[in-house]
Chains A and B, each alone.
Chain A
Amino acid sequence: MFRNGRRSASKVALALGRKRVTETATKAGWGLLRGAIRSQWKGLAAGVSVGLLWSAGKVAGPLLVQQAIDKGIVEQSSSLMLWVVLLLLAGLIAAVFTGARRWFAFREARWVETSMRDQLFAHLQGLHFAFHDETQTGQLMSRASSDLQQVQAFVVMIPMTLSNLATVVAVAVILFRLDPVLALMALGPLPFVNLLARRFSTKLFPEVMTIQAESAELASVVEETVSGIRVVKGFGAEVVQSSRLRAEADDVYAASIRAAAVRAWYLPLIDVLPLIGLIAVLGYGGQQVLNGELTVGELVAFNSFVTLLIWPLRNIGQLVALGQRAAASCQRVHEVLSTDPLVKDPVVPVRLPARRPGHPVGELRFDDVRFSYGRLEAVLDGFTLRVEAGESVALVGATGSGKTTIARLIPRFYDVEGGAIHLDGVDVRQSPLHDLRRAVGIVFEDTFLFNDTIAANIAFADPDAPQSAIEDAARLAGAHDFVVTLPDGYETVLGERGYSLSGGQRQRIAIARALVADPRVLILDDATSAVDPTKEHEIRDALATVMGGRTTIVIAHRPATIALADRVVLIQDGRVAAEGTHDALLAESEAYRQVLAAGERTRWAVVAGAGPGPAADDDAAGAQPVETSAAEEVR
């Protein structure tokens, strides 16, 4: 019962996947693949050349055995030793060059994979925010891993397959010269090996994909059961989950059995076809020997040659399928690579005015700004605001009013669709991108820290910053005190396998990171939202220090944080609805009170500990509307 919806969804996805594979003819994919191969042509050509030498050694083997039997053993017309030595030599050649062929093939294939992945990464780094908003990380990751893996698997086969092809041609020529009829009988079934191998791979592929899809569904049942174990146990839903898992396990089983059935039909046929050739060699070839038309050595050689060709032929069949898959993968990679960055450096850049002592910088001007994220309804429309150098402004508004959008337009994460934004008199679109972003420090709502040391995280904007600068920034952000208490201090590694910090601590590291480059404008986007209310005051103290004398844009919900700013701007429907100090707005603006109340409704007094300490510190600035409603609840 739980499965129906999802099953059909996965089938659709599967069908789409299959369709995509058949659409491989798309030029872009092949074009990219061709380009990659062309760039490595020298190495690949070397691989093909040594492959041909391998081929020669391989083909010589049975011929020498034939000579040894006929001339050395049966006729005794020449020294057996000569043929034995030649046989050893041929073996040596084949052995040495099989290694060399492998070496070249993998060297070039891995290099193609590596350089394409580097290219992909570099390109992604340059793509605008809007692209990343729309694209899931997982999708990009699969481009970089499984798709490029497919390309690698194809490129590696090129030298292998070409030398295999040479082997097939050489053997065919030799056999036809020995005995055309016998050659036809011996080799006749072999093309079908190739045909069957190809058909096999196309039949098996969808089944393997089904197994993968079904396994993924099974994994998701396990995953949700483990993460929802409290609910499962709380309601005694073990039986329900167990029957769901059984159903998924049955699906995986059924799919695996179907795949096994495909194998069970094709593999024996592929194996038995060459036997037909071998039987023909023994039957017809034997008669020919009796008739004196063929020597025993030639008969044995025929036998060896047929065996020799089995693998190369199967392998040639694979190349076509691999090529199609590689092109399909390349097409998906191409989709990303062909996306042009929308936010680009200006053609004629204008530098921001230099800083001079005594002249405050960071003056911001929004003129009639319009922005809609490319949708019909504008988020900002006619937004005009001036922020003086060194001034701190709090942006307040309901969810979706456009506060965060304003913050994102300043460092050009997106470009305005109408109007303009000037920083120190320069249109932000005219400034070199790198300079602009160095001039604007931003603390995001969700603090993203890298799996690296605290020092490296703080010095992210400026890796060459001296330790003293890192510590100064940390002190300003109120992070220094807790960092030094950590076991490794600033060298503490953060992240999955490293130390995990609390929300408030992460936030303070992020603030220090924004400060280390001494930006003209500091943007704090809801920097306290993720913080435990009882710890909020710690950050607030840090913010108060940081904001002193620096142009700061603060986006906040909590009155206490808002009150830190020199000026408060209320945003409604994408424009400025009211502005003034926190106290003035609280007194005058009904809309302002409502917005604050909506934000505050969702917060409760938390029983945080015995004693009046932290709780009293909370909400020190007080927001009347909220407390009245809370008081009503108490009554």
Chain B
Amino acid sequence: MWGGAAVSAEDRLQRGEGKAIAGRTFAMLRPYRRQALVAAVVITISTLTVLAGPLLLRYGIDHGIGEQDRGALSAAVAAYIVVAVIAAFASHLQIRLVARVGEGFLRDLRVRVFDHLQSLSMAFFDREKAGVLVSRMTADIDAMGELIQFGLLMFVMNGLLVVLTAALLLKLSPLLAVMCLVALPLVVVASVRFQRQSNRAYLTVRDRVGHNLSTMQEGISGVRVIQAFGREGEQTDRFRRSSRDLYDAHMDSVRISVWYFPVVEFAGAATTATVVGVGGWMVHQGTISLGTVAAFVLLLANLFEPVQQLSQLFNTVQAAAASLKKLYTLLDTETELPERPRAVDLPASGAIEVRGVSFGYSGSDLPVLADVELTIAAGERIAFVGPTGAGKSTLAKLVARLYDPTAGSISFAGVDLRDATNQSLRERIVVVPQEGFLFDGTLMENVRIARSDASDAEVEQALRDAGVWERFAALPDGLATEVRERGSRLSAGERQLVSLARAALVDPAVLVLDEATSSLDPGTEALVEKALDHLVEGRTVIVIAHRLTTAARADRVAVVADGRLAELGTHAELLELGGRYAALYESWIGSTP
């Protein structure tokens, strides 16, 4: 089958874009320029060896046989052997060189895109879908890989071969060459048509494959519901219909190749017949030699097959260019939270001051927070409470500089967070998210992610500090336990414990806790509570509270409602105030007679 690649209309490059992409790619290839240059030379040599065969046959026929010169014949044979050896070496070398340059380029691209991705702000990750970002690093780079492994070399060689063969034919006999090339435009037109049609057909196939597979996926993941309602027959019919659509799309794409390949094949045969007819006549006239006719017949293969292959490769090349464009666009996205040129390290401890802070997510006109004023003393424990979406989480994220405020400023120990180094920011202020996210690897590695230079002893100490050492040391593999895919082996509570141990390892001045809303198993629940008690000791703590009991235990409570700081004070003060907090508390107590 022809190359399995295609580009949709919206992905196709605009005029001029191709040039920019090529330029940038050449710039990225700079570290490999010597190897790339050698590769280009080797590819040219290798292409020339393809042309040498028919020429040597011509020499052998004309000079060896025609002139009855056995020496000339032997010379042709000897030259042929040399050419064969060169061809083999050149081919070997070019495969290796192209792989080294191409795969090296891909590796650089992967690392560069990934590093860039990680440097982008949280706001970017909120905007973009995770699946799309992952596909940049997988599908898009794989499209490039496909081209490098299979297509690039063939594309270059075939292009070169067509040009060189045409030039050679013209030189051997301009008249006969022109007769041959008459059919070539026909083939080119047919090939362009085929390339367009097959691109379209392939897109349809791809859509229907997607539909077919998602129908199947739905049928399998929903099989319990399907059986529960006795709809197996209907679902099978539905799947059959989607299969049938896919089959039809496949057959449409076959139909396209069914006319194209014969056209090219017949054009080749017709040209051969022309060469034999016209060439034979010219031999009779004495204008060309018999060897030239023979060489022509053999060289024709180098003319038609490459055109055919080029038309098939064209889609692969286009798809790769479209992928490159997406990757470069990603690389051009600038981070919204850059470190300032003369950034300073944050002091070891101090108060947090929120001054006139407003915030709105980009792409949305609604302000999430407006004009918030708040001072959190060093070592204070403060709870943020308020309805979902009122802005309490956002406020906490601003304090950790996961975003920058749109107006106003936030400072720690007198240093504006925007003037702080990223490194010191992460060391002073740590956010413990609601759910403990685990990476593939061991428990030890998962804790150490918070500080990559921590020794085993330090990790152990962090676990002890969080009060969970016994729990994990008791596992069969201890800290070497592989947590596997997304920590399927650990319960939600245990994952939360890992998360707390990470925070203990960093030993920050400020801890931002996002209290879990979902339930934990009762056993670990108590352990998490204990670990938290350990951890908050001697630190400034900001809790995004979902339980009133947590709020009640904090030094102060900040009620965030409608993007404003509605109430602020101790639990007792706020109850006395008789405002929102008091009402909430009343209603909660009231529901528990």
- How far apart are the CA atoms of A132 and B222 in the complex, in Å? 10
- How far apart are the CA atoms of A121 and B84 in the complex, in Å? 53
Q: For the complex formed, measure the closest distance between the CB of B185 and the CB atoms of chain A, giving whole angstroms.
A: 18
B548 near A242: Cβ-Cβ < 8 Å: no
Q: For the complex formed, measure the closest distance between the CB of B51 and the CB atoms of chain A, giving whole angstroms.
A: 13
B406 within 8 A of A: no
B122 near A230: Cβ-Cβ < 8 Å: yes
A224 near B269: Cβ-Cβ < 8 Å: no
Q: For the complex formed, measure the closest distance between the CB of A243 and the CB atoms of chain B, giving whole angstroms.
A: 8
B114 within 8 A of A: yes
A267 within 8 A of B: yes
Residues of B contacting A21 with CB < 8 Å?
none
Contact of B265 among A6, A98, A278 (CB under 8 A): A98
Q: A413-B228, A612-B587 are in contact. Are A283 and B546 (CB under 8 A)?
A: no
Q: For the complex formed, measure the closest distance between the CB of A98 and the CB atoms of chain B, giving whole angstroms.
A: 6
A451 within 8 A of B: yes
A80 near B280: Cβ-Cβ < 8 Å: yes
B442 near A5: Cβ-Cβ < 8 Å: yes
A269 within 8 A of B: yes
B216 near A121: Cβ-Cβ < 8 Å: yes
Q: For the complex formed, measure the closest distance between the CB of A88 and the CB atoms of chain B, giving whole angstroms.
A: 5
Residues of A contacting B230 with CB < 8 Å?
433-434, 437-438, 461
B138 within 8 A of A: yes
A residues 122-166 touching B (CB-CB < 8 Å): 122, 124-127, 129, 132, 137, 140-141, 144-145, 156
- How far apart are the CA atoms of A122 and B239 in the complex, in Å? 9
Residues of B contacting A413 with CB < 8 Å?
224, 227-228
B122 near A603: Cβ-Cβ < 8 Å: no
B221 within 8 A of A: yes
Q: For the complex formed, measure the closest distance between the CB of A356 and the CB atoms of chain B, giving whole angstroms.
A: 23
B125 near A229: Cβ-Cβ < 8 Å: yes
Binds A, one of B20-28, B92-100, B192-200: B92-100
B239 near A121: Cβ-Cβ < 8 Å: yes
Binary contact readout A233-254 vs B (1 if CB under 8 angstroms, 0 otherwise)? 1111111111001100110110
Contact of B548 among A94, A239, A605 (CB under 8 A): A605
B236 near A230: Cβ-Cβ < 8 Å: no
Q: A65-B272, A84-B273, A102-B254 are in contact. Are A226 and B125 (CB under 8 A)?
A: yes
A91 within 8 A of B: yes
Q: A125-B232, A282-B77, A598-B522 are in contact. Are A98 and B261 (CB under 8 A)?
A: yes
A36 within 8 A of B: no
Contact of A268 among B87, B385, B400 (CB under 8 A): B87
A residues 582-618 touching B (CB-CB < 8 Å): 598, 601-613, 615-618
Residues of A contacting B423 with CB < 8 Å?
236
- How far apart are the CA atoms of A1 and B236 in the complex, in Å? 48
Q: A121-B239, A235-B450, A271-B88 are in contact. Are A607 and B545 (CB under 8 A)?
A: yes
A200 within 8 A of B: no
A602 near B265: Cβ-Cβ < 8 Å: no
A257 within 8 A of B: yes
B546 near A604: Cβ-Cβ < 8 Å: yes
A-B contact number at CB 8 A: 447
Closest to B586 in A: A612
Binds B, one of A297-305, A419-427, A482-490, A543-551: A297-305
Residues of A contacting B545 with CB < 8 Å?
607
Q: A102-B257, A141-B216, A282-B56 are in contact. Are A460 and B588 (CB under 8 A)?
A: no
A233 near B388: Cβ-Cβ < 8 Å: no
A603 near B519: Cβ-Cβ < 8 Å: yes
Residues of A contacting B432 with CB < 8 Å?
234
- How far apart are the CA atoms of A206 and B60 in the complex, in Å? 45
Residues of B contacting A103 with CB < 8 Å?
254-255, 258
Instruction: Give the number of chain B interface residues (Cβ < 8 Å).
Output: 163
A222 within 8 A of B: yes
A226 near B130: Cβ-Cβ < 8 Å: yes
A605 near B588: Cβ-Cβ < 8 Å: yes
Contact of A141 among B76, B220, B298 (CB under 8 A): B220
B269 near A88: Cβ-Cβ < 8 Å: yes
Closest to B439 in A: A224
Q: For the complex formed, measure the closest distance between the CB of B389 and the CB atoms of chain A, giving whole angstroms.
A: 10
Q: A114-B246, A265-B92, A296-B65 are in contact. Are A91 and B266 (CB under 8 A)?
A: yes
- How far apart are the CA atoms of A179 and B2 in the complex, in Å? 38
A604 near B297: Cβ-Cβ < 8 Å: no
B563 within 8 A of A: no
- How far apart are the CA atoms of A110 and B248 in the complex, in Å? 10
Contact of B224 among A300, A444, A609 (CB under 8 A): A444
B residues 240-274 touching A (CB-CB < 8 Å): 240, 243-244, 246-247, 250-251, 254-255, 257-259, 261-263, 265-266, 268-270, 272-274
Binary contact readout B197-238 vs A (1 if CB under 8 angstroms, 0 otherwise)? 000000000000000111011111111111111111011100
B262 near A125: Cβ-Cβ < 8 Å: no
- How far apart are the CA atoms of A606 and B125 in the complex, in Å? 28
Closest to B282 in A: A73
A91 near B272: Cβ-Cβ < 8 Å: yes
A226 near B441: Cβ-Cβ < 8 Å: no
A81 within 8 A of B: yes
Binary contact readout B276-298 vs A (1 if CB under 8 angstroms, 0 otherwise)? 11011101100000100110011
- How far apart are the CA atoms of A83 and B114 in the complex, in Å? 64
A residues 39-78 touching B (CB-CB < 8 Å): 61, 65, 68-69, 72-74, 76
Binary contact readout B172-204 vs A (1 if CB under 8 angstroms, 0 otherwise)? 000000000000000000000000000000000
- How far apart are the CA atoms of A513 and B226 in the complex, in Å? 12
B167 within 8 A of A: no
B426 near A141: Cβ-Cβ < 8 Å: no
Contact of A80 among B214, B261, B277 (CB under 8 A): B277
Shortest beta-carbon contacts, A-B, top 9: A91-B269, A602-B519, A260-B99, A236-B426, A612-B587, A627-B592, A95-B266, A604-B547, A268-B91
Residue pairs across A and B with Cβ atoms less than 8 A apart, 15 shown, are A2-B441, A2-B445, A107-B251, A114-B244, A219-B138, A241-B114, A249-B111, A260-B95, A260-B100, A268-B92, A283-B74, A290-B65, A290-B73, A413-B228, A615-B584
Given contacts A90-B269, A226-B125, A622-B591, 18 further A-B contacts (CB under 8 A): A91-B266, A91-B272, A94-B269, A106-B254, A110-B254, A121-B236, A124-B223, A129-B227, A234-B400, A234-B433, A238-B115, A256-B149, A269-B88, A282-B76, A286-B73, A296-B290, A607-B584, A609-B387
